[in-house]
Chain A
Amino acid sequence: MPTVKMTSHLYRFFPQLQNQPVTVPAGPVGNALHTINEQAPGFTDYILDDRGALRRHVKLCINDTIVIDRKALTDQLKAEDTLFIFQALSGG
Chain B
Amino acid sequence: MNNTILLGTRKGTVILDRTATGWAARPILHAGVPVCYATRDPRDGTLWASLDHGHWGPKLSRSRDDGATWEDLSTLKYPEGARHILQYLPTPDFDPEAPTGQPDYADATVYKIWVIAFGSADQPGRLYAGTIPGGLFVSDDGGDSWTLNRPLWNHESRGGDLFAGDATSETHWGGTPASVDYGVFEPGIHSILVDPKDPNHIHVAASSAGVLETRDGGQTWAGRNTGMLMDYLPEPAADWGHDPHYITQCPGQPEHLWQQNHCGVFYSEDGANHWQKVSVPEAGVHFGFPIAVDDHDGRTAWVVPARADAERMAIDGGLFVARTTDGGQTWEPLRKGLPQENAHDIVLRHGLDSSGDCLCFGSTTGNAYVSEDRGDTWHCLGNNFPPIYSVRFG
Q: Which residues of chain A have a CB within 8 Å of any CB of chain B?
A: 9, 13, 42, 45-47, 49-51, 53, 55-58, 87-88, 90
Q: Is the CB–CB distance between B108 and A50 below 8 Å?
A: yes
CB distance from B217 to the nearest CB of A (A): 25
How far is B55's CA from A58's CA once the two chains are assembled, in angstroms?
6
* B80 (CB) vs chain A CBs: closest residue: A51
With A and B bound together, what is the CA distance between A53 and B59 in angstroms? 17
Q: Are B54 and A49 in contact (CB under 8 A)?
A: no
**Assembled-state Cα–Cα distance A56/B54 (Å):** 9
Tell me how many residue pairs across A and B have CB atoms closer than 8 Å.
41
Given the complex, which residues of A lie within 8 Å of B59, measured CB to CB?
Answer: 45
Query: Are A42 and B57 interface neighbours, CB within 8 A?
Result: no
Give me the 6 closest cross-chain CB pairs, A-B, nearest first: A45-B74, A46-B56, A50-B109, A49-B109, A50-B77, A87-B55
Complexed CA–CA distance, A13 and B56 (Å): 10
Q: B47-66: contact bitstring with A at CB < 8 Å (1 yes, 0 no)?
A: 00000011111010000000
Which of B's residues lie within 8 Å of A, judged by CB?
53-57, 59, 72, 74, 77-78, 107-110, 182-183
Which chain B residue shows the least CB distance to A48?
Answer: B57
> In the assembled complex, how far is the CB of residue A50 from the closest CB belonging to chain B, in whole angstroms?
4
Rounded to whole angstroms, the CA-CA distance of A50 and B74 in the bound complex is: 10
CA distance A42 to B54 in the complex (A): 17
Q: Which of A9, A45, A50, A53 contacts B55 (CB 8 A)?
A: A9
**B56, B74, B77, B107 — which one has the most chain A CB atoms within 10 A of its CB?**
B56
Q: Which residues of A contact B77 (CB under 8 A)?
A: 50
Q: In the assembled complex, which residues on chain B have CB atoms less than 8 Å from the CB atom of A57?
A: 54-55
Closest Cβ neighbor of B82 among chain A residues: A50
Q: Is the pair B182, A50 in contact by a Cβ cutoff of 8 Å?
A: no
B182 contacts across to A, CB distance below 8 A = 56
16 A-B pairs within 8 Å (CB atoms) are namely A9-B55, A42-B74, A45-B59, A45-B74, A46-B57, A46-B74, A47-B56, A49-B57, A50-B108, A51-B78, A51-B107, A55-B55, A55-B56, A55-B57, A58-B55, A88-B55
Give min CB distance, B270 to chain A, whole Å.
38
Please indicate the chain A residues that have their CB under 8 angstroms from the CB of B57 in the complex.
Answer: 45-46, 49, 55
Query: Which residues of A are found within 8 Å of B110, using beta-carbon distances?
Result: 49-50
- Give the complex CA separation of A53 and B53 in angstroms: 17
Inter-subunit contact A90/B54 (CB<8 Å): yes
Q: Looking across the interface, which residue of chain A has its beta carbon closest to that of B79?
A: A50
A15 CB to closest chain B CB (Å) equals 13
